[in-house]
Chain A
Amino acid sequence: MQSRPRYALTKVIWLTLLLSLAACGGGSSESDDNSNTPLILVNVGSDIIANEQTTVSLSASARGQSETLSYSWQATPSLTITHPDSNAAAATVSLPETTQTLEYALTLTVTDSDGNSGSDTLNLTVRPVNALPEASISFAQLDSYPDYIVPAGAAITLDGSASDDSDPPSSNEAISQWSWQQLAGPDVLDGVDVDGPILNIVAPVQPDQSQIQLQLTITDQEGGQATAELGLIVQDAQSTVPTVNAGRAQQVYPGEMIMLIGEADSTVAAAKPLAYQWQASTTQAVITDPTALQTFAVFGADAIGQTVRFTLDVTDLNGNTVEDTVDVIISEAPRYRLNDTGVTLQATNSQNTASFVPELPGQDAHLGQDVIATYGNFEKAGRGDAGFDFTRLNANGDEVDSLDEPFSCVRDNITGLVWEVKSDDGGLHDKDHTYSWYFEDNNGGFDGDLNGAGSSCSLTQCNTQAFVDAVNVEGLCGFFDWRVPSHDELSSILHYGLVSTPMVDDEYFPSQFDTVTGPLWFWTRIASADGVNSDNSQNAWALDFASGVDNFLNKSSATRVRLVRAGR
């Protein structure tokens, strides 16, 4: 390592030698030859001052007795020096990025083939360069307001996060400091966080229009600063209008509930309460409570195929009125192939109620045949609770209108299915008879039980197949194609709107099971793919008419059956 005194000494020696050579230039062969060790004279030139992230070229001259000289650069502290040819001095240095002045010593050592060497050192000063940051403020214009005009009391967000610095020191945030100030207008910064890129303020509520002027000052990592300003005009409280939203477009069928779920507010507390008024573009609509913010409408069949526009007017105490609209398509009624559930009560998150529940829109009671029937828009072939449509049939299969006459079967006018009605006479159809599940095909690999323990009926063997066969021999209601219903078929008559047992319309499926407590299982024809033993289905699906729950029961279980046949 060369030291500074040595560097100074080298320079003196070099100068001396240069002078002595000049003195000998006259051709004299005489020389001062008392120097035994030839020196290598090195000159790296003057000190260098340069900007960060630039490249500096190094050059030097050296003179020695040997023709072949070898050059070596060193930096203190360390710097990467690009030195392509060690037989020449030329080299370059890429200066680092810096936010403060850096000092380096660059030393060139020159060595000849005899091991003689000399060196010289220069000071390299690296200066930081800082481009100033650029500040910007963006403001999300409020809907339906002119540029930079805001209503009194409005929540306003100013966003300075697009501010940037073109030369951030790597691995740091470009902006080190954010500071919002207010230059004019009623104070909006009290209690507000003013040290971040985002400024959330509330427009002042004043009797007169006011102007607020805000400034953002940003500081970059190297202390450079910039500012941006934004001015807003705040409306006076009296002219500030409410906000309104008439809800989402939707498509319904005639007789279903149209959700009119409005939202409205005012940023001016003194302008509330707000008044609401719903109107429809057609008089065929019945809006249940047109002055409620959230209500519903029901249309009869005469509105089919229309797109009805509902308009919600919201008026504040200062007389400001705003409106929004929502379009509802009333489609032609579908041909319903499934029965609705029977649920006509609406549910909140914790209770069932006859009141309108707008916060859970589109739930069971809002849509489908049940609500259509409730508002008298469901034309039934027969009668039935809610959206159910049944007709009683007598033993010959003829329709029975009188509620006093006996009946043996019930036709479902929606599904087209005809159902066995249970009796209480100890005969073939007795309500208390139970059967084990037994079928020789479509059974999941296991026929079931011919005569399960606990089954009781009027047949020799109390199983489902035997019962089907017996009823088809009898020809109940004139039909000979009775069978055990599928899961879908049996659940079609379940009435999920009831909590009493059984969950079925008792005008058509009389409540012969009133005294039963606990589950009231009825078999379906469907073997269960769950609960298999050696790949054999041990269970079959049954429905509990006490709870509405389905489950797969062991095929040997003593369980009731209600037969069905298809076709109108």
Chain B
Amino acid sequence: MKYWIGILVMIVGCNVSAQSCLVDIDDTTASSEFTDLEDGTVLHVRTGLVWMRCSLGQTWNGSTCINEADELTWQQALDQAYGYEFADSLAWRLPNIKELASITERSCVRPSINETIFPNTSADDYWTSTPSMADPQRAWVVAFFNSSNSIKQKDRSVFVRLVRNAD
């Protein structure tokens, strides 16, 4: 069998996180799909979306994301994104569920994201802009521990990554 499990250990401050990947699953977000815009954002060529490399609350220091990511309610997340200015753009917004799911890396878990492109991503839920039609108390989240989606109470504290369309 040609499988193995890759363990990447990243040491961030005193936190230790380990990502596990299966090599016999094609990458869903290979690094070659992204163009570094060199301002803390990347263009995902396949989707035409530009993503912040860091979660809200973190800071891009030129090579990685530092500081703790913010955990916000759905309303706080939307309010912060409204008119958010970053990397010379005012077009930032919360991604919808299809957009956020498009940067899940399904060959890896914990976190299930390309850590070269999106370093120091929490292996946890991130808000989407999409409310649940079936349960009005909840909105959709994507969990970056294994790429799964679910609906979550809007008053819960959840991580946020912003997106915009490419110019």
Residues of A that sit less than 8 Å from B by CB: 247-253, 259, 261, 329, 331, 334-341, 343, 345-352, 359-365, 367-368, 441-445, 486-488, 491-492, 494, 496-499, 526-530, 532, 535-537, 541, 547-552
Contacts and interface: CB of A to CB of B under 8 A. Distances in A.
Contacts of A537: 22, 24-25
A334 B48 contact: yes
A364 B131 contact: yes
Given A526-B28, A541-B106, A551-B148, A251 B89 contact: yes
Contact of A337 (B47, B78, B96, B106): B47
Contacts of A349: 74-75, 137, 154-155
A488 B109 CA distance: 17
Given A337-B47, A528-B146, 18 more contacts: A248-B82, A249-B90, A251-B89, A259-B82, A334-B165, A337-B46, A341-B97, A341-B130, A347-B154, A348-B136, A350-B136, A364-B130, A442-B26, A445-B2, A445-B3, A527-B24, A541-B147, A547-B134
B96 A529 contact: no
A441 B2 CA distance: 10
With most chain A CB atoms within 10 A of its CB, the pick from B28, B106, B133, B139 is B133
Interface string B80-120: 01110100011101101111011010111100100000000
Contacts of A346: 131
Contacts of A341: 96-98, 130
Contacts of A329: 90-91
B130 A343 contact: yes
B64 interface: no
B129 A362 contact: yes
A338 B24 contact: no
Given A251-B91, A349-B74, A551-B148, A529 B25 contact: yes
Nearest to B5: A535
Contacts of A345: 131, 133
B140 A496 contact: yes
B38 interface: no
7 contacts: A337-B47, A337-B48, A352-B131, A352-B133, A492-B98, A535-B5, A548-B140
A426 B165 CA distance: 44
A419 to B, nearest CB: 16
Contacts of A494: 98
B146 A549 contact: no
A529 B166 contact: no
Secondary structure at the A interface, as helix, strand, loop or mixed, is loop
Nearest to A441: B24
Contacts of A336: 48
Contacts of B99: 338
A549 B98 contact: no
A356 to B, nearest CB: 14
B124 to A, nearest CB: 14
Nearest to B153: A349
Secondary structure at the B interface, as helix, strand, loop or mixed, is loop
Interface string B126-167: 001111011011011000001111100011000000000111
A367 B129 contact: yes
A252 B91 CA distance: 6
With most chain B CB atoms within 10 A of its CB, the pick from A363, A535, A547 is A363
B59 interface: no
B165 A527 contact: no
Given A338-B47, A541-B106, A444 B89 contact: no
Nearest to A367: B93
With most chain A CB atoms within 10 A of its CB, the pick from B2, B4, B137, B148 is B148
Nearest to B80: A362
A491 B99 CA distance: 10
A547 B90 CA distance: 34
A526 B166 contact: no
B21 interface: yes
Contact of A338 (B98, B137, B139, B154): B98
A347 B106 contact: no
Nearest to B93: A362
B103 to A, nearest CB: 10
B26 A529 contact: no
Given A335-B48, A341-B98, A352-B133, A529 B93 contact: no
B22 A249 contact: no
B11 interface: no
B140 to A, nearest CB: 7
Contacts of B82: 248, 250, 259, 261, 361-362
Across the A-B interface, give the 4 residue pairs with the lowest CB-CB distance, nearest first: A248-B83, A445-B3, A347-B131, A334-B165
B1 interface: yes
B17 interface: no
Contacts of A492: 98
Contact of A347 (B104, B107, B139, B165): B139
B39 interface: no
Contact of B112 (A248, A486, A529, A536): A529
Contacts of A334: 48, 165-167
A326 to B, nearest CB: 9
A334 B35 CA distance: 17
